[in-house]
Amino acid sequence: MSMDIVYAVAYVILAPFIGGLLEGVDRKISARMQRRVGPPLLQPFYDVIKLFNKETISVDSSQTFLLLTYFVLMLVTGVMFFSGSDILMCFFVLSTAATFLYFAGVITSSPYSSIGAQRELIQMMAYEPAVLLTCVGFYLAAGTFDVREIAATDTSYIVRLPGFFVAFVFILTIKMRKSPFDTSTSHHMHQELVKGITTEMGSKNLALFQITEWYENVFLMGVICLFIVNGSFAGLLAAVAVFLLVYFLEILIDNSSARMKWQDMLIVTWIVTFFTAGVNLVILIVIR
């Protein structure tokens, strides 16, 4: 029990640093892929600090409160996950958090922000089956939804859940808002979407959004690690290695693909979910 609290506190404190560093690495690698030098590694932190020091400008008075709720619920998701509670519940809270992000997007009625928010909602619809199925996969393999008990295993789950792993990595691109699925907000300039759902978020609001994204990424990487861990130290190392590899893969995909239409994204994601996680599920249930 005490270890659970330690993990949870560690998540709250360390996640923004890990998330920020990951983004720094992300920018650096992306830049190198594009034959640029790229910003310093700590640039994301400088950005966020600068945003916090700017004058608060806003289009709608309620946006801050919605983003704050989004932030806290995201924090709760991570805390629940790292303190070992029910994984399905974690994702339910996560989707509630995402709902508040949607609200923060549409409340302004600004054109770009609203379109971005609508697409964010489509993205949620696209990835939710894969997320729920991943939980089901863990349940089938471990006999419980409890993260604590799931993590206490001798063999890595990826052996039994390869399909679920593929599906989850696939939707990770959507969750991290990376190309080709960056339909709700684009991090590349000069696009028809402007900055999508984040268009109307300024100064502190944007900083808050940024930090929430870091928390979210670390949580998602935690789920990736859950596929690999097996109680041993080597397993832990392997988990870290896999999650870095996955992150690199996301950067590579991001830099080598053009944005898809949201219609195609929805269909492709569902088909991939069906044929990876779905097939894996059928096999697991049949051989059980």
Partner 1 sequence: MGISTVPFLILFPFAAALLIYVTRINKLRNGISYVSSVIIMAATAMLLIQWIAGGAQVTELYYDAHIADRVILILEVILMIYITVLCFKYKKYWISLLSIVPTCIIAWFELFGPKAEESARIRIDHLSLLMCLIIGIIGALIIVYAVGYMHGYHHHHREFKDRRNYFFTLLFIFLGAMYGFVLSDNLLWIDFFWELTSVCSFLLIGYTHEPVAIKNSFRALWMNLLGGTALAVGIVYLGYFSGTVSLSKLVALGADKAAVVTIPIALIAFAALTKAAQMPFSTWLIGAMVAPTPSSALLHSATMVKAGIYVLFRLSPAMAETTTGNMISFIGGFTFLITSFMAIAQSDGKKVLAFSTISNLGLMVACAGMGKAETIWAGIFLMLFHAISKSLLFQDVGATENSLHSRDIEDMHGLLYILPRLAFFMFIGIAGMFLAPFGMLISKWSALKASVNEGNIIMVFFICFGSATTSFYWTKWMGKIISASHLKETSFKDITKKNELVSLTIHAVLMIALCLLFPLLSHVYVNPLLEEMFGTYNDVLSTQILLTLVVIIVIVFAVPLLAFLYSRKMRKTYVLSYMNGVNAGNNMKFIDSFGEEKTLWMSNFYLHKWIGQRKLMVPSQFFTAAVLVVMMSMIIGGAGI
Site size for partner 1 (CB under 8 A): 68
Binding partner 1 by CB under 8 A: which of 112, 168, 214, 247?
Answer: 112
Rounded to a whole number of angstroms, the minimum distance from the CB of residue 16 to partner 1 is 18
End-to-end CA distance of the chain: 31
- Kindly state whether residue 9 participates in binding partner 1, applying the rule CB under 8 A: no
Contacting partner 1 within 175-214 (CB under 8 A):
194, 199-200, 202, 204
- Kindly state whether residue 171 participates in binding partner 1, applying the rule CB under 8 A: no
**Piece of 42-50, 96-104, 172-180, 212-220 that binds partner 1 (CB under 8 A):** 96-104
Tokens 């697409």, residue located: 119
Q: What is the DSSP letter of 275?
A: I
Distance of alpha carbon 11 from alpha carbon 18, whole angstroms: 10
Output 107 or 221, the one with its CB closest to partner 1. Answer: 107
Which residue in 189, 205, 165, 267 sits closest to 60, CA to CA?
205
Q: For residue 195, how many C-alpha atoms fall within 13 Å in the half-sphere facing its CB?
A: 9
Distance of alpha carbon 146 from alpha carbon 277, whole angstroms: 20
- Kindly state whether residue 74 participates in binding partner 1, applying the rule CB under 8 A: no
**Piece of 43-51, 103-111, 158-166, 235-243 that binds partner 1 (CB under 8 A):** 103-111
**Piece of 37-45, 101-109, 219-227, 241-249 that binds partner 1 (CB under 8 A):** 101-109
Rounded to a whole number of angstroms, the minimum distance from the CB of residue 61 to partner 1 is 7
Angle between helices 63-82 and 2-33 (to 10 degrees): 120
